[in-house]
Amino acid sequence: MGRRDPQLGPDALMVMLPSELKHLVREAKAEKVTFSNTPLYSLYRTKKVLGPGITLAGPFIGAPHAVIGLEKLIVLGARRILVLGWCGSLQPDLKTGDLVIPDRAISEEGTSQHYPLPNGAPRSDSELNRMLEISLEGQGITFTKGEIWTIDAIYRETSEKVKAYREKGVLAVEMEISALLTVAAYRSVSLAGLLVVSDELSDLKWRPGFSNPLLKKNTRLAGELLLSLSENLREVLP
Q: Give ∠ CA 180-100-45 in degrees, rounded to 5.
A: 50
Longest CA pairwise span in the chain (Å)? 54
pLDDT tens digits, residue range 64-73?
A: 999 999 999 9
Residues of the chain with pLDDT under 50: none
29's CB contacts (< 8 A; 6+ apart) are 46, 47
The whole-number pLDDT of residue 3 equals: 65
Q: What residue ranges define each of the domains in the chain, with the CATH number in brackets?
A: 11-229 (3.40.50.1580)
The whole-number pLDDT of residue 13 equals: 98
* pTM of the predicted protein model: 0.95
Which of 172, 3, 174 shows the shortest CA–CA distance to 91? 172
Separation CA 4–CA 103 (nearest Å): 35
Rg over alpha carbons for the chain, rounded to the nearest Å, is 17
pLDDT tens digits, residue range 171-191?
A: 999 999 999 999 999 999 999
Task: Please check whether residue 86 is in contact with residue 97, taking contact to mean a CB–CB distance below 8 angstroms.
Answer: no
The whole-number pLDDT of residue 116 equals: 94
